[in-house]
Amino acid sequence: MATIIDGKKLAQEIRAKLKIECEELKQKGIIPKLAVIMIGEDKASQVYVRNKSKACNEIGIEFEEYLLNENIKQNELIELIEKLNKDTSIKGILLQSPIPKGLDINEAFRTIAPEKDVDGFNPVNVGKLSLNQDTFVSCTPYGIMKMFEAYGIDLEGKNVVILGRSNIVGKPLIQCCLNKNATVTVCHSKTKNIEEYTKRADVVIVAIGKSKFVKEEMIKKDAVIIDVGINRGEDGKLTGDVDFEKVSQKASYITPVPGGVGPMTIAMLMNNVIKASK
Ligand code: NAP
């Protein structure tokens, strides 16, 4: 049976440390404050924003929410971001995605000042990550790297296979793992015979959004399995992209869903807000 990587516990430990750092900043007269922009009424986004607000409250980070109507024009969105860039009381800016079709999310991310880009989506920060320079790393990949660190999982020389190539998870993960000297392979929806790659992997990181996609026979014994997927079944239950019950019998380490990568994502967002405030 694999060791379960307890993201919930690790995230709590990180948040407790951040609370102390936040208090120290306040004593120096620096007030960490996060501005979150949400457009429209996407239900899942509302839950994510509520969780971010709760985490900020717990740590002592001020939280300002900008709820915009889904009919907002691109120039109005850009003007708001520019206003927040100039506001010295705001230390971090986050644009909750998805945003309505018709709005240009790339221009919006490009407009967020790199030093306030706590999600790490501004191309300047993406570029710095690819050059292995200090930057804001997007929160889900950053949280996964922290898990490896906390559990003493060294990626150097390991075959890491990433399933999924999204801008927010898969792609930044490629750089994060390369920066740790792993040999990285990326699979996506056009990859043929995915199991040929996963079977050779020392570490498999799955972020595709397909419930229980990774089966026991697709991995080698003692592989490390990181499950990013969040899938809600008809019964309302959450499942990951990995068949946890069976795969956990064969893997050496595995993250559960819920309680694995998810809590780490929010903890690393908080970490980035404190970093931006510093
Ligand atoms: P996304 O933007 O939809 O990207 C999905 C990726 O998976 C794409 O690269 C796609 O390939 C690939 N893919 C889809 N079906 C595939 C298949 N059958 N075989 C191989 N690759 C396949 O998703 P995302 O935003 O990265 O999120 C992925 C999952 O992680 C979702 O369940 C999401 O809810 C979850 N998530 C969790 C957290 C967290 O904090 N725990 C954070 C972010 C996301 P193509 O590029 O070829 O289309």
The whole-chain average pLDDT of the chain stands at 97
Pocket test of ligand 1: the residue of 210, 228, 271 to mutate, having most ligand atoms within 8 Å of its CB, is 228
Q: Are 277 and 91 in contact (CB under 8 A)?
A: yes
Q: Is 189 in the pocket of ligand 1 (CB under 6 A)?
A: yes
- Residue 221, classified by CB atoms within 10 Å of its CB into exposed (0-12), middle (13-18) or buried (19+), is exposed
pLDDT tens-place string over residues 158-193: 999 999 999 999 999 999 999 999 999 999 999 999
Active site residue 146: no
Q: Is 206 in the pocket of ligand 1 (CB under 6 A)?
A: no
| Tokens 């996609």 belong to residue | 213
CA of 255 to the centre of ligand 1 (A): 17
Among candidate residues 6, 33, 91, 119, the one labeled active-site is 119
Contacts for 6 with CB less than 8 Å, ≥ 6 apart: 259, 260
Q: Are 218 and 193 in contact (CB under 8 A)?
A: no
Q: Could you give the C-alpha distances from 175 to 142, 143, 181, 185, 261, in angstroms and in order?
A: 11, 14, 10, 11, 18
pTM above 0.85, yes or no: yes
Q: According to the model, what pLDDT value does residue 106 have?
A: 97
**Structural domains of the chain in order of their starting residue, each with its CATH number:** 29-113 (3.40.50.10860), 139-262 (3.40.50.720)
Average pLDDT for 9-27: 98
pLDDT tens-place string over residues 201-234: 999 999 999 999 999 999 999 999 999 999 999 9
Active site residue 133: no
Q: Are 195 and 220 in contact (CB under 8 A)?
A: no
pLDDT tens-place string over residues 150-163: 999 999 999 999 99
Active site residue 96: yes
Q: According to the model, what pLDDT value does residue 159 have?
A: 98
Q: How many CA atoms lie within 13 A of 23 on its CB side?
A: 8
Q: Is 259 in the pocket of ligand 1 (CB under 6 A)?
A: no
**DSSP string of 135-186?**
----HHHHHHHHHHHHTT---TT-EEEEE---TTTHHHHHHHHHHTT-EEEE
Q: Is 228 in the pocket of ligand 1 (CB under 6 A)?
A: yes
